[in-house]
Structure 1
């Protein structure tokens, strides 16, 4: 269990991912290449896996950025990126919740998010924020079903162009 995130109800184990896990992370990201092609315009590359592990907002300590591997039967079936106390002490930022496409649609994402929300609340969070790309209507519908509401829009600049994103928040507690 990473930092108090309990995903055992979803029949998952959690593990902090780091530099030694880049190749395994890239292999998992490749099983989700449809997401990366939709969002970034190209399949995942090794540099993308390294950036997912290492990148964090300026001023956020490494200890407050967690990249969590979600495992079932030892295999990586999901990834959760969490920024604790960002952008303010009462908010946690959910950078990514990505599940193996074969496991989507059966309630696993909702179970993982519920566990993450309980964990955040137990550590003083009162809000979770995230962004969703406008061209990803299934993700937008999922997050709305989880209780998120739009709080703004922005343009995300990528090496292949740009995306319009919806900034969303879920207030609780």
Structure 2
């Protein structure tokens, strides 16, 4: 049975404090990815981040919230990267307290619907090599590996990234 969730766009002006509080709860992923603690700059970086060469107007920052308004997931999707008809998922992060409860799948459905409305043809996502649980999620949702990249520095850590894609 699906939990009643609300999906809505995020703006820095209205939601930076709520996103900062979310990152504090999801600090495990921030530490895993960058080797750094989540702090006030983490939320700011989320709102500034976008795929290479993408205009800020070509991205969507979204929240997944409970009926009471509490954010339990955030996502960042850029349109036109790496190819024109793509909807690139730069981040889909779920609160640790509700992981493995179907929230990620429901949030992904919302992102897929948005990408289809914008006439996108596929959805790429980059997954850290060490994130076996995340990669398993994407593969269960029909994403397949397209490309692996040379190791790169993210914060104080070095990661190999894999691009997985799914046709829409």
Q: TM-score, normalised by structure 1?
A: 0.87
- Give runs of aligned pairs for residues 99-114 of structure 1, distance below 5 A: 99-114=94-109
Shift of 1:13: 3.4
* 1:122-160 Cα shifts (integer Å, max 9, x gaps): 221110011111111110100000111111112231230
**Is residue 146 of structure 2 the alignment partner of residue 135 of structure 1?**
no
Work out which of the residue numbers 14, 17, 24 in structure 1 matches 2:8: 14
Three-state SS of the structure 2 residue aligned to 1:157 is strand
Structure 2 partner of 1:41: 35
Three-state SS of the structure 1 residue aligned to 2:84 is coil
* 1:48-84 Cα shifts (integer Å, max 9, x gaps): 2111101224532221112112221111111010102
Change (3 A) 1:57 1:111: closer
Unaligned stretches of 5+ in structure 1?
Answer: 1-7
- Give runs of aligned pairs for residues 90-101 of structure 1, distance below 5 A: 90-101=85-96
**Is residue 164 of structure 2 the alignment partner of residue 168 of structure 1?**
yes
Unaligned stretches of 5+ in structure 2?
Answer: none
Three-state SS of the structure 2 residue aligned to 1:112 is helix
Change (3 A) 1:13 1:158: closer
CA distance in 2, matches of 1:42, 1:59: 26
State whether residues 19 and 53 of structure 1, in contact with CA within 8 Å, keep that contact through their aligned partners in structure 2.
no
Three-state SS of the structure 2 residue aligned to 1:80 is strand
Residue-pair matches, total? 165
Three-state SS of the structure 1 residue aligned to 2:107 is helix
CA distance in 1, matches of 2:3, 2:167: 23
Structure 2 partner of 1:31: 25
Three-state SS of the structure 1 residue aligned to 2:160 is strand
